[in-house]
Amino acid sequence: MDDPRSYDVLLRPTPDDRARPGRAFLTDDALLLAPSRHGRLARVVGDAANGLFGHLPESLGLYDPHAVTRTEAIHGPETLRIRYADLRALAPFVRPTGFSLHLRVDGRSDDVRLAFRSNDERRETVELARELRRRASEAGVEVDYFDPGGRTRLLPLDEGT
């Protein structure tokens, strides 16, 4: 992770889009979802090098599939900005392929889909969902939960679980 208020994610702004590595940033008034600065070719080469060398390039800092800085996210034209006041519902869940968080946002017909791929993906999913719910509440919005369906199990957001 870049800092405590950012998360490495796989982004799918719409169901038709291909999942792209990127980073989610929490700002004072919005969630920023920014795709990696690496293009498809650079990601293929970087992922191949990581695979061949046991993730050594990534562990040495030579390659980061989620490479995007907060400044790039703030000024990037591909960044999706979701104001906390526009957040209507969220679904933190686990399925056989990993942990995900879907968001329903005012003004969008499709859910925004985030997937997590790390050693702490469950913690990150729950932590981001809790923080989004808290910030939306501070913006005067009560966020609902929804079940995305399929082979999923919703994750509890209560502090005791």
Note whether 157 and 126 are within 8 A (CB). yes
- CB atoms near residue 33 (< 10 Å): 25
CA atoms lying within 13 Å on the CB side of residue 78: 16
Per-residue pLDDT of the chain (161 residues), as tens digits, is: 444 588 989 898 777 777 888 899 999 999 999 988 656 655 555 556 556 666 665 655 555 656 788 888 899 898 999 999 999 999 999 988 899 999 999 999 999 999 997 778 999 999 999 999 999 999 999 999 999 888 899 999 876 44
| 102-112 CB burial, b ≥16 within 10 A, e <16 | bbbbeeeeebb
